[in-house]
Structure 1
Amino acid sequence: MPKSRIRKKNDYTPPPARQATNIRLSGSSWIAPIMLALFLIGLAWIVVFYVTDTRLPVEALGNWNIVVGFGFVAAGFGVSTQWK
């Protein structure tokens, strides 16, 4: 039985090097401060609610104050999606 030919693969040649490009941290300078502010407001809202034994920030809301605090945190995550 005849031997099959051995096919030689081409040697790997890396693609040409690209020059480094400057990466902007954010599209706008206001995104990061707003994001952090929303995180901190939400955290402070929840902490104040627990520390004051549910009397503050808004007593009429009752346990819905936790939802409001997490709403601020969720809004912070929403803003963080715009951070480039």
Structure 2
Amino acid sequence: MPKSRIRKKSDYTPPATTTAVKLSSGRSWIAPLMLALFLVGLVWIVVYYVTSAAWPIQALGNWNIVIGFAFIAGGFGVSTQWK
């Protein structure tokens, strides 16, 4: 049986011209603020439950839960501006 020819593929060479893409949107403060609001809200609620409503503000009672969720909702609100 005759041997088949070996086909050589030419090596890939990338195009000579490349353009740099600028990814910075100038809003580098949004992600840290969003995460901070999430964490503050979570810590507020956890502290309220762990201390049996003695902390963060005892006079507010169950409104402390609403405050914690307001911080979390603020984090979601800030996240809509993240690009």
How high is the TM-score relative to the length of structure 2? 0.71
Q: For residue 49 of structure 1, what is the amino acid of its counterpart? A: Y
**Once superposed, what is the RMSD of the aligned Cα atoms?**
1.9
Unaligned runs of 5+ in 1: 1-20
Q: Distance in 2 between matches of 1:25 and 1:78?
A: 21
Question: After TM superposition, which residue ranges in structure 1, 4 or more long, deviate above 6 angstroms?
Answer: none
Unaligned runs of 5+ in 2: 1-19
The alignment covers a number of residue pairs equal to: 66
Deviates more, 1:70-79 or 1:25-34: 25-34
How high is the TM-score relative to the length of structure 1? 0.70
**Identical counterparts, % of pairs:** 69
Q: Distance in 1 between matches of 2:74 and 2:24?
A: 20
TM-aligned CA distance change 1:53 to 1:81, over 3 Å: same
